Amino acid sequence: MKIAAIAVFGAFWVLASAPMSVAGEDPPISGSMQNFTPFDAPAAAPLIPLSTEENGARTLEYLRGKVVLVNFWATWCGPCVREMPTLARLADRFGGDNFAVAIVSQDRDGWKRIGPFLEKRLNLTFENSLLDEGLKFSRAMQVRSLPVVAILDPEGNEVGRLVSGAEWDSPEAIALLQYYIDASGRGPS
């Protein structure tokens, strides 16, 4: 009898301590997010250093504790360039203690190309602008085309991915990201 009670209590504790999903079991996927693929088994993002323009190399570990949208892009990728303004608006509107946007460039010319391209051509700045020198991080993340967005949970696990450009400040994108923030137990952004 005691074993059954312990088993019931243990099951209750596991369920009660798990992050609660909002609006059902599945993330809201519609409209511009229709190509988003949630992962049944989230996988840890690799801790491979990425280059920053001013601060040297760092892994994405510095963003732990937040849901992170990781955008893989390049200056020569038309769909990547088209979605950049929507990512900047998303970061400005939605970024904070619970959420961050990190853009990871695959440009071979490095910062001498990326910085001026973002600032002068697009008139954009990103707090978390990174360069994947040698494409080690992109290969480890199995990025085979551009643009690609990976969503990481606060522990640094990839929970889903969208391959192709999107409107990241659309209501559908915000609903999807809010789902992951709420499911992480971090509360509203």
User: What would the pLDDT profile of 136-151 be if each residue is shown by its tens digit?
Assistant: 999 999 999 999 999 9
Q: Is residue 8 part of a domain?
A: no
Residue 22 has pLDDT above 90, yes or no: no
Residue 182 has pLDDT above 90, yes or no: yes
Q: Is residue 83 part of a domain?
A: yes
Q: Is residue 12 part of a domain?
A: no
**Distance from C-alpha of 157 to C-alpha of 160, rounded to nearest angstrom:** 9
Comparing 19-28, 94-103, 121-130, the range with the smallest average pLDDT is: 19-28
Range 154-183 average pLDDT: 96
Q: Is residue 31 part of a domain?
A: yes
The domain spanning residue 161 has which CATH number? 3.40.30.10
Q: Is residue 143 part of a domain?
A: yes
Domain range for 142 is 23-183
Prediction pTM value = 0.84
Count structural domains, the chain: 1
Q: Is residue 13 part of a domain?
A: no
What separation in angstroms does the CA of 146 have from each of 11, 65, 77, 82, 143?
Answer: 43, 27, 7, 12, 8
Q: Is residue 29 part of a domain?
A: yes
Q: Is residue 120 part of a domain?
A: yes
What pLDDT is stored for residue 186 in this prediction? 55
Phi, psi of 54, rounded to the nearest 5 degrees: -115, -25
